Chains A and B, each alone.
Chain A
Amino acid sequence: MGARVADGGLSVAGRRALAVLRHRTAAFLLAAALLWGGWQAFLGLSAPGRIDAALGPALARGGLVNVRVTLGFAPEDFHTRLFQDYGVVRGVEGPTLLLNRVRTEDVRRIARFYWVRRIAPQ
């Protein structure tokens, strides 16, 4: 004995409504998932390109590094506050932030931001 006791049979309108639900919502979710997945892939692939080669040895060594993060624009309050989660903001020179005591994992995390141009040693 299932839900049919309560619903009195699936009406034509009901069937149509369910079809609409499946169609509209599912299509949206699918599109959203695909877009999100593609975007994440792009971020992951482009991230290493943002890290300056000169930083390689320091990253391989591990521990804390001091970096220069160059953006494509003058950083706003939003960006300085964001970077305070990753290290100590020592100063700002034009489009570049000086960030101290950053963990190596965090350097890679910062490299994933699409709005970051380059991460170089100080």
Chain B
Amino acid sequence: MGWRAALATWAALLGGVLAAWSLAAATLPMPAYVLPPPTAVLEALVDLARKGILPTYVGESLRRIVQAALVAVAVGVPAGVLLGMSRRAAEFSYPLLSFFQSVSGIAWLPLMLIWFGFGERTILIAVNYTVLFPVVFNALLGVRSVPQIYVNALRTLGASRWRIAWAVLLPGALPSIATGVRLGLAYGWRALIAAEMLVGANGLGFMIFSAQPFHLTARIMLGMGIIGVLWTLLDYFFLRPLEDATIARWGLVQR
């Protein structure tokens, strides 16, 4: 379908939705705060940006997720690769990693509240935990899935374990690692919003949650939109390209 037709459909769809929304907002027999019109959401955007609230909260959420991503890669990839290098270690860790990945960081939050109270540390631990486990798990799986023939080939040529890890295991595991990073961040971004709601002091989660008792529904919708847009940007500019490039380049393994 040509891009002109696509654009026309897009515009028609967008126009239709905005019109229906505005109409519903104007005619619904419910208090105004239940469904603010699209213009109210736009006003909220301008208002919160003007007051410096929005950039601050967005910055705080982004800071936390980026930090969690960096830690997860720096710690999780080596950990997963090391565990994957030994068949015994891999078999031992697999059930444990599965279990701990099944328990989201948010489920650990009550325990972290007892240990560290309501504060930044609690949020960071919950989010870092959530992003870390899929990365370790997938790194381990990635290493285990490298065909033994490559490892043996290098070994017969006299390469050390570390050389093998660096030259064969790590590249071979990269597609799996990229998928793990993407999954970990998908879980982690959502865990971050939840943690900011629960341990609230700042951040996008806090922004939308604290707006609710004051019936500032336009702010809630604005915040939701920004949460979605930020993830879409992160995915489109970083995670998807990473996944595609690693699979295209080193894809030995079926996803």
Contacts and interface: CB of A to CB of B under 8 A. Distances in A.
Direct contact of A and B (CB under 8 A): yes
A72 B50 contact: yes
Top 8 closest pairs, chain A to chain B, by CB:
A17-B248, A115-B52, A14-B248, A21-B241, A14-B249, A21-B245, A28-B237, A6-B171
Interface of A: 1-3, 5-8, 10-11, 13-14, 16-18, 20-21, 24-25, 28, 71-73, 76, 78-79, 82, 113-115
B168 to A, nearest CB: 5
Interface in B149-183: 150, 153-154, 157, 159, 163, 167-168, 171-172
Given A14-B249, A18-B245, A1 B150 contact: no
Contact of B167 (A1, A8, A82): A1
Given A1-B163, A73-B50, A73-B51, 14 more contacts: A1-B154, A1-B159, A7-B249, A11-B249, A14-B249, A17-B241, A18-B249, A20-B244, A20-B245, A71-B51, A79-B51, A79-B52, A114-B52, A115-B51
Given A73-B50, A115-B50, A6 B242 contact: no
A72 B163 CA distance: 62
Contacts of B250: 3, 6-7
Interface in B197-255: 233, 236-238, 241-242, 244-245, 247-250, 252
A8 B253 CA distance: 13
Contacts of B252: 6, 8
* Interface SS majority for chain B: helix
A58 to B, nearest CB: 25
B53 interface: yes
Interface of B: 50-53, 56, 146, 150, 153-154, 157, 159, 163, 167-168, 171-172, 233, 236-238, 241-242, 244-245, 247-250, 252
A7 B171 contact: yes
Given A1-B159, A6-B252, A17 B50 contact: no
Contacts of B154: 1, 5
A18 B238 CA distance: 12
Nearest to B168: A6
Contacts of A1: 154, 157, 159, 163, 167
Contacts of B50: 72-73, 115
A76 B51 contact: yes
Contact of A24 (B150, B159, B237): B237
Contacts of A21: 241-242, 244-245
Nearest to A77: B210
Given A1-B167, A114-B52, A24 B249 contact: no
A2 B154 CA distance: 11
B169 to A, nearest CB: 8
Contacts of B52: 79, 113-115
Contacts of B51: 71, 73, 76, 78-79, 115
Contacts of A73: 50-51
A74 to B, nearest CB: 10
29 contacts: A1-B154, A1-B163, A2-B167, A3-B171, A5-B154, A5-B167, A5-B168, A6-B168, A6-B172, A6-B250, A7-B250, A11-B249, A14-B248, A18-B245, A21-B242, A24-B236, A24-B237, A25-B241, A28-B237, A71-B51, A72-B50, A73-B50, A78-B51, A78-B53, A79-B51, A82-B56, A115-B50, A115-B51, A115-B52
